[in-house]
Structure 1
Amino acid sequence: MLIVPIPAKPAPKLSALLAGQNCQINVYQKTTGLYLDLAINNVPIKSGIVCRDRVRLIRHPYLGFVGDLMFADTQGTSDPTYDGLGARYLLVYLEASDL
């Protein structure tokens, strides 16, 4: 398990090396919740994923992503919002061995 640093902004874009995968992660807030797009080497893997507390985001190994991502609320069980990113709501990378 690894915490991916993410700033508390309405639409942060970040890059991270996760299990040797060059990942581009876009997180954005809409009126209906927080969403995430994931690409590896600028090739989209999954887009428009609604982010919920402690719910794995990728879930399907056939998509080609090794491991999984999820948000975890450190103060309860609320779904994440941008203003708590990196503090209350942590983006967690789960290694394949953690699944």
Structure 2
Amino acid sequence: MQTIPLGAVPSQSLSVKLAQQNCGIHVHQKSTGLYLDLYVGSELVMAGVLCRDRVYLVRQAYLGFSGDLVFVDTQGEEDPEYTALGTRWLLQYLGESA
């Protein structure tokens, strides 16, 4: 399991290498929740996925992403909000063997 570094800002993008995949991740807060977009290379894998506590985000291997992503609330079981990303809510990468 690998923690992906996020800051407590309402909209952010980062590049990270996950299991030999060059990934782009965009996280943005809306009034209805926190949402995530995922790119592998220049290919969009998924867009506008609602982030929930301990719910896998990708779930389908046919999307072209090896492994999965999940937010974990370290202080309870609430869905993530941008205000405590990187401290209370961690974005975790789980490889295929996890």
Question: TM-score category by the smaller chain?
Answer: over 0.9
Cα displacement (A) at 1:43: 1.1
1:14 aligns with 2:23: no
Q: Which amino acid aligns with 2:76?
A: G
Secondary structure of 2:97 counterpart? helix
**TM-score between the two structures when normalised by the length of structure 1:** 0.98
Q: Distance in 2 between matches of 1:19 and 1:81?
A: 27
Secondary structure of 2:90 counterpart? strand
Cα displacement (A) at 1:71: 0.2
Counterpart in the other structure of 2:39:
39
Map Cα deviations across residues 35-86 of structure 1 (whole Å, 9 max, x no partner): 0000011210000000000000000000110000010000000000001100
Cα displacement (A) at 1:3: 0.5
Gaps of 5+ in 2: none
- RMSD value over aligned CA atoms? 0.5
Secondary structure of 2:70 counterpart? strand
Q: Distance in 2 between matches of 1:28 and 1:17?
A: 20
Secondary structure of 1:12 counterpart? strand
Counterpart in the other structure of 2:88:
88
| Number of residue pairs the alignment of both structures matches | 98
Counterpart in the other structure of 2:28:
28
Q: Which amino acid aligns with 2:42?
A: N
**TM-score between the two structures when normalised by the length of structure 2:** 0.99
